[in-house]
Amino acid sequence: MVHDNETIQTDDNSELENQDWPNLNKYKKDNYELSCNQNTGKRIVFMGDSITEGWSNLYPKFFQNKEHINRGISGQTSPQMLIRFRADVIDLKPKTVVILAGINDIAENTGPSNVKMITDNIFSMADLAKTSGIKIVLSSILPAFEFPWKKIPDAPAFINDVNSVIKKYCEVKSFRYVDYYTSMADERKGLRESLSEDGVHPNFEGYEIMSTIVNDILY
């Protein structure tokens, strides 16, 4: 057993990395540096997975706004995001958090999931934000007809069910809801071909649409 004051001894750095299941180390340095900067009270943190992380790379103009802070991590599911929510969101003292989660839960990146499991994690993040005085924006999961890396039966129906619960929750709680889905879905309820190279992750045009949609909600 390892106690609070003991250090884990290992010659294998990868073993230590594997123990960081929520990847709390990814933004540890960035978070520290941000904490040293003056907070204008207008900071907006974008919490998510690869769809959020890729936003900065493929559509960097959106994050040239110094108040927009990207805290997406590729491949993550909602339980991983929930674990790192305090470090990567609350401790940054933002005015608003925009949460986009669930697509990797549906793809079973960390094991089988269901609608309640996914939305429970998202709503727990929202509860933490509300308790900390942070304004909450919850996002629809983007459309996806199928996943290149995992065969999931009727993924569009699963996505629609999660989105319906999130939207209803926002109505009940008076939270803002960002509907990316409606503007980006095709006739199969997948991501429009012109907006993605793999049917899951947006390209430049996809992120341009997302940026416009979320800006209309935020400003």
CA proximity to 119, closest of 51, 168, 54: 168
Strand partners, 98: 46, 137
Alpha-carbon distance of 74 to 43, in angstroms, equals 22
Mean pLDDT within 56-60: 98
Which of the four pLDDT bands, split at 50, 70 and 90, describes residue 15? low
pLDDT at 10 over 90: no
**Model pLDDT, residue 3:** 38
Instruction: Give residue-wise pLDDT tens across range 161-199.
Output: 999 999 999 999 999 999 999 999 999 999 999 999 999
The model's pLDDT over 93-140, given as tens digits with 9 standing for 90+, comes to: 999 999 999 999 999 999 999 999 999 999 999 999 999 999 999 999
CB 181 within 8 A of CB 163: yes
**Cα 55 to Cα 8: distance, rounded to the nearest angstrom:** 36
- Report whether pLDDT(1) > 50: no
Sorted by where each starts, the structural domains of the chain and their CATH numbers stand as 38-218 (3.40.50.1110)
